[in-house]
A = this chain, B = another copy of it.
Amino acid sequence: MGISWFNGRLIEGPVSLDPTDRGLTLGDGIFETLAVFNRCPAYLGAHLDRLGGGAEALGITVSRAKIESGVDELCRAQPHEHGILRITVTRGPGTRGLSGSGDTPTVLMTLAAWRRGTINAPVRLATSGVRRNIDSPASRHKTLSYADNILAAREAAAKGADDALLLNSQGRVACSTISNVFAIRGATLLTPPLSEGVLPGIVRARLLAVAASARLEAREAILNPDELADCDRIFLTNSIRLVRPVAALDGVPLRQGATASIDSLLAALCEEIARDTGRDPRDTDRADP
């Protein structure tokens, strides 16, 4: 199990959890997953902003300074120099009843080793029967309530795909179970707006910001599933895998154009992360384990 950081201190092995902890009993909390290079989490500030937004939406009060010091402590103590940091915040132990407040939030952090070949691997998508609920704030926060995503991911795996394409309640493109969706059409970079039931991805926001460096005009746009085959390239983004081209959708190969644009976007992202952490993610991803 390795070392974790749990409620203020480093521990080895299992956590000692109150059986009424609402993270365990009701998926009542939020989380973040971050890439760590040279013991430095990439885009930590943006991830903590998003965590804070989710906590506020759920009415959970948690100290940002405490989390920051825990991140630092765990990253220094772990044997993994490069890895994947997970920050989990629950409402903590609580009385029965959904609206009840917890006593004190539970904060748990773990750090797994980086695995070679994580970045830029092509992905085959299968459209899921599970749809993204645009009529819930939870679709725009990274809550612990991941049953919809888990059901969709299992459905995709059963179809032999790597991930699921999630449409929203209106049947339009939203995201995958773990990623935002982007399309390149000509000189334009497109991604669905957050109002489509989309998580505000950290890499999503960075790509929209650095698109000009790849000579792309970036904008949010409603995407219908039948438009995807007409785009030059569809790709997925998240904080760990960064950018991944979509090779096929529902068994049908998609166009693999705009490679230079995708390479430029990935390069701009990796240079930002290298400035932040002192390490280019591509070097870590290519390194021997």
CA distance A256 to B260 in the complex (A): 68
**A98:B178 contact, CB within 8 angstroms:** yes
**A25:B133 contact, CB within 8 angstroms:** no
**A147:B144 contact, CB within 8 angstroms:** yes
Residues of B within 8 A of A146 (CB): 26-28, 98, 145
**B24:A135 contact, CB within 8 angstroms:** no
**B25:A86 contact, CB within 8 angstroms:** yes
Residues of B within 8 A of A153 (CB): 97-99
Of the candidates A1, A27, A178, the one having the most CB atoms from chain B within 10 angstroms of its own CB is A27
CB nearest neighbor in B for A156: B99
**B24:A108 contact, CB within 8 angstroms:** yes
Interface of A is mostly: mixed
Residues of B within 8 A of A58 (CB): 147, 150-151, 154
Stretch at the interface among A10-18, A63-71, A201-209, A216-224: A10-18
A284 at the interface (CB under 8 A from B): no
A149 smallest CB distance to B (angstroms): 6
CA distance A110 to B20 in the complex (A): 8
Known A-B contacts A98-B149, A130-B137; the reply to A17 vs B25 at CB < 8 A is no
Question: 0/1 per residue, A152-164, Cβ < 8 Å to B?
Answer: 0110110000000
CB nearest neighbor in B for A144: B27
8 A Cβ contacts from A5-35 to B: 6, 14-21, 23-28, 31
**A154:B59 contact, CB within 8 angstroms:** yes
CA distance A144 to B145 in the complex (A): 7
A237 at the interface (CB under 8 A from B): no
A184 at the interface (CB under 8 A from B): no
> Which of these, B1, B84, B90, B143, contacts A24 with CB under 8 Å?
B90
> Which of these, B4, B18, B135, B138, contacts A19 with CB under 8 Å?
B4
CA distance A110 to B22 in the complex (A): 13
Of the candidates A1, A23, A98, A157, the one having the most CB atoms from chain B within 10 angstroms of its own CB is A98
A199 at the interface (CB under 8 A from B): no
CB nearest neighbor in B for A176: B98
The 8 closest A-B pairs by CB, nearest first: A27-B27, A145-B145, A131-B135, A145-B147, A98-B153, A133-B133, A99-B153, A143-B147
Known: A1-B20, A25-B88, A58-B150. 16 other contacts (CB 8 A): A1-B19, A14-B19, A15-B18, A24-B90, A24-B144, A25-B31, A26-B144, A26-B150, A27-B144, A27-B147, A84-B96, A98-B177, A133-B135, A143-B147, A145-B145, A145-B148
